[in-house]
Structure 1
Amino acid sequence: MLKPGTRVTVLIKELTDKGDGIAYLEGRPLYVAGALVNERAIVMLTQIKPNFMQGKLEQLIASDPQRQADFCIYQACGGCQLRVLGYQAQLALKQQLLIDVLHTHQLACPVASTLGMAEPFHYRNKAQYAVRPGAQIGFYAKLSHQLIDIKECVVQAPITSLVVAQLKLWMQTETVSAYNELTEQGCVRHIMIRNGINSGQVMVVLVVNELLTEHERASLLLALQNIVGLTSVMLNINKAKGNRVLGDTTHLLWGKSEIIDSLAGLKFAISAQSFYQINPKQTEALYQEALRLAAPQPQDIAFDLYCGIGTISLFLAPRVGQVYGIEVVAEAIVDAKKNAQLNGLSNLEFYTGKAEQVVPTLYSQGIKADLVIVDPPRKGCDTTLLATLVAMQPSRLVYVSCNPKSLARDLEWLTHQGFTLEQATPVDMFPHTMHVEAVVLLTWQGRK
């Protein structure tokens, strides 16, 4: 009988969406972190449930030829699930994942090679660290609430490690307490760092449970004074229970309330609360691919749905006649309007509200798009919105997705209503993870 501690030899058949290997034992899936497809391994069982088992990889008998040495010393961190798989193999895997999910929904179209990075490290422009007693600053271990104290993360911008080191020293020197989740006492809860990859500007946001004293504020600024590019130091107040990082109130301690970064020559103002793509280099690749597929024309009326702070809208504006951006988050629309002004673009209108409500209203007013770009959250698009797009019949619909499963579901619905699937391109926004971004072009052919 199988029990925890038993060692078994298994063949890894596939990967989960979290990057764990899956073998099958006695008709049940056995999940093995760190194992790759087609690898034969000796695994020690750690957990046995009626419907699944967990195991620890102990020895590889036959390994994937694309396996590489682990580049991270923090193996308990679940952030980079594919770090032992060579980067070119990661790109091929992500292309295949998109092909497979489209095939599951009987969708046929060319799937291009994954657009990857020349240097897939230090790509993140935003870092969020949890802080716990003992001046522990880091990330939570995979599938747990156990904090891993991290000195350096190779996917974060290098400036991040310097900021964290200075803040840790400041907390220890000034005896500033860390927040204790059990007692709900203590001061510092999180640290958020945003940096402009192209501008070099840095924002540090200290998230606290209680206000700092005047001396602590002064010493904090002194501790950060040698950070190159420091532009903004913010204090965010969060007294709420739970794991929410930012509270509703943010104070400017020093510098400016925003940093500026650029993408493809466009400037973007980024506040503490702004949504801004985590990987700017790949964001450019993603949006340039979206524009290539969209083939915008000077006379086009374009809709940018789920527009956020207007990133795609600003990419579109110089190439089309008019852009309508729609976003449910009011603060993002404020940022979008500000970004349009910052770049001297006037052929944009932004609306606050749900796309499934605003688009039907605009359509009923006679505003019809020639080109639509949608970039929805992971759950995909609302069917009311999709139905309005079918009624509107734009000649081109570009779907940008962060979730292949909801993407395929929506594409299946759209193709049954008169759209034709032309091309899909996976984009590697988060190297070394299982995350797959995709850009898909559909054209209107009409109901058959």
Structure 2
Amino acid sequence: MAEKIKKFFAKKKADAKFKLAGPGHKLNESSSIDIVGPSKQNKPKTAPPRATPTDATRQAAEAALARVSTQKKDSAFNTSLAAIQAKVRKELENEKKNAAKTDEFVPQKRPEETEIEASPHLAVKGVYFKCPLVSEAVLSKEDWKVKIQEFLFEQLEEEKGLTACLIIHSCNYNRAKVEDCVTTLCRYIDNIITNPEETKFHKIRWQNATYADKVEPILGSKEFLDAAGFRIQLIENNGNEENFWVWSAENIENVEVLQTLRETLTSGERVELEIDRNIQILSPSQASARIELPQDFYAISAEELKREQQLKAENLDKQLQLRTKAMREKEELREIRKYKFALIRIRFPDGLYLQGTFSVYEKFAEVLEFVQENLDVNLPFVLCTATGQKFGEDDADTNLATLRLVPATILLFSWDKSIEEDLKQSGHSGFLKPEVMMLMQSLL
């Protein structure tokens, strides 16, 4: 059954890619229409290598540097890039003059009277997601809930049973209620599989408390029962006509269909969302101004957050008391659990910041991959904190919460020592891909 679900998803992904390809045309006809493919290739899930560069790596670096150095100096982008670099240099000089400024990125709490969404100091406007199975759109989670529900209900005609299971797991957000529904539906199916001739298991009364409380409110449950061979009928009960789900073997190909549906339902497969990195390139002044986190980052409500802030203010004297290391660590973990997402900023030696959004449960390998895929030269690099703590392959399988990189962190970028000197001698000064740097055009 898992294989059938995989094929279903694979077919839908193929259909989605086909739709992105644009209108078709015959091979023997001329056409000026460009075929547009997906915006992103599938990401590799391994961390960038940290080993000493081989001769092949060095040759690749030389080729990359040669390509960078031979770019047209009179192009519109290079002119803009030069302006960006000049602006960043000026900001860095101002930073040095102001000794009070540091590289620490501490998210500020929003003023009580100000709506955080309207604040000009937001580091990011919100948390956004992608769902390649449905479309290439980047939307908020709430918008995706609506879009996924519409998408799945459109698939019911093609594959009712499997799609109904996906609706149950993807379009209902109280997991306890979903589990109760799944358990009840499985009981209905098991009764028929075990006793196919027992007519008392062929009827489900709508007014039955178990059905009314655990099944009827769950989206997709009615479609599942229909796929399992149940149909709605009015039946006289105690002198009144009532709605019943009535099962008949004639409504399905064979009883084996019920077992297949049961396995699909209990597999727990659902349409998953992928977090969008929401890439931003910031100058030093932008990075120092955009320091607030939106409510989307918190695992607690705005009211709970406000209440905690008030309690902290009231207990300020307690906080100033001497605390043991264990007490401090316990408080730090409690603070980390308030967040669902983390904002990671990578500061490059030229002063620019690469910013991305991550789940607190994502592995550090995702951060390494995020940096690598935006670099102009594919070479080993090092990330560390302002205090000198380095992160590398040993941390790749550790999540961001465990590494204390929540809710927001600045990591300093540097090339691996083994190639840094070669890069300096070559005069290479850029770090990010030109198409990524284009995100900064709004600065000019």
Return the structure number with greater helix share: 2
Return the structure number with greater strand share: 1
TM more than 0.5: no
TM-score (norm 2): 0.21
Q: Which structure is larger by alpha-carbon Rg, 1 or 2? A: 2
TM-score (norm 1): 0.21
